[in-house]
A and B are shown apart, each in its own frame.
Chain A
């Protein structure tokens, strides 16, 4: 098994062990995406809602 894949599996195992003592789940943030929250022009929504039914 390539060394790279071994490291990946190792990190996965360590990460999975967090489940044993996991706390409250939070929303995951994505790098370089448009940030959440209000916008300068769009207000609280942070986006211009064209329609919503």
Chain B
């Protein structure tokens, strides 16, 4: 009996087990299938990534196997020109000083712009048209706050002068090595600088243009406190620049000008200005052994625009020896047949010394004397004595300077006090 019961139990158990196994099997199967599917998906992704890595590796190999590209050249110019053989640049300088003066009645100090070489900026550009010809333009303007040519004793409360840019150069030119240079516009006339050739190194503070350091100051009658201002226009009647005229040609003007090519250092110049003034000049620059020489002579006819003088001639020459000693001479005369006035004239001489003793730059010293006659009114005799020093600092584009000058004016029937000045400052070229 027991064996039968045992077998029956076993059969029932087996039956029950068999009936329950399909439930368990179905759940695990689904899970196995899910896992298998997941594994298959992961496998696909891995294979895809392997393929991608393989492709990237091939591409990288292709890149690294190529020769290195040429380095990119960064253009130096901020702007571009349409053509070749062109140049353009801008430049400038600032020239500021203190002007100490004693006019016989009072002493004072003014902050000035040195009219000998004013503060300015400029732009120039040119293009090479051929091997022989170059064409170009030049714009240069100055901005003088309290110019030494304008400052005087009568008004020291405000900035003197135009308080704005004023013209110096506004011109176009064609320059041929074989035929010379033709310029049109505002700029130096042919006779400009005919009185002011100077190799001394001190022309920043001392040249035949003796009125530049203090031209605006007025002569004071002995015993008076201020310069005479008879017409009450707040300008002295007799200024230094009125009494000391170095007859330096037609200066700058709106003109057409021609300069010849150089022939053994010799050049010819001529120009015609707006208004009908005209001038001719000759200049020379050469070296004779240990001595460098420059000179210029000019004749100008300004009857078209000026009452007196109708005609003027002026010349200057400067010699610089290798020892550093130098000599500068200048003279000129102006005449007007119709005015009846005395001929205006001047003579000027300067002895100087330049040395390179200091490593920073040249040191220049000078003493000069000049006589200027009949410039303002007939009978005037004006004289000046000056000392100048200029120290150049080459690496800085800078010149420090100081100078002393005395101006005296003798006029029949009038007793003017002498004017003493000291001008100290610096010119920086930027």
Interface of A toward B, CB cutoff 8 Å = 2-5, 7-8, 11-12, 15-16, 18-19, 21-35, 37-42, 45-53
Contact = CB atoms under 8 A, between A and B. Distances in A.
A47 B299 contact: no
B193 A30 contact: yes
Contacts of B288: 21-23
Contacts of A25: 262, 264-265, 285-287
Contacts of A5: 299, 311, 313
Given A38-B397, A50-B89, A52-B77, A26 B265 contact: yes
B372 to A, nearest CB: 17
Nearest to A48: B90
B91 A42 contact: yes
Interface string B276-293: 000000111111110010
B348 to A, nearest CB: 13
B159 interface: no
A45 to B, nearest CB: 8
A21 B88 CA distance: 39
**Which 5 residue pairs of A and B lie closest in terms of their CB atoms, listed nearest first?**
A25-B265, A31-B196, A47-B91, A39-B397, A28-B285
Contacts of B84: 53
26 contacts: A11-B297, A11-B313, A11-B315, A16-B266, A19-B264, A22-B265, A28-B267, A29-B294, A32-B196, A34-B429, A42-B430, A45-B89, A46-B91, A46-B429, A47-B89, A47-B91, A49-B89, A50-B79, A51-B78, A51-B79, A51-B88, A52-B77, A52-B87, A52-B88, A53-B81, A53-B83
Given A11-B297, A26-B294, A28-B267, A4 B312 contact: yes
Interface of B: 77-81, 83-93, 116-118, 120, 122, 188, 193, 196-199, 203, 207, 209, 262-267, 282-289, 292, 294-299, 311-313, 315, 333-335, 337, 394-399, 427-430
B120 A34 contact: yes
Contacts of B298: 8
B285 A4 contact: no
B265 A4 contact: no
Nearest to B295: A15
A30 B318 CA distance: 12
Contacts of B262: 25
Contacts of B92: 34
Given A12-B282, A15-B297, A26-B286, A51 B430 contact: no
B209 to A, nearest CB: 7
A11 B282 CA distance: 10
B78 A34 contact: no
B299 A22 contact: no
Nearest to B86: A53
A33 B118 CA distance: 9
Contacts of A2: 311, 335, 337
Contacts of B80: 51
Given A8-B297, A31-B193, A37-B394, A24 B286 contact: yes
A46 B397 contact: yes
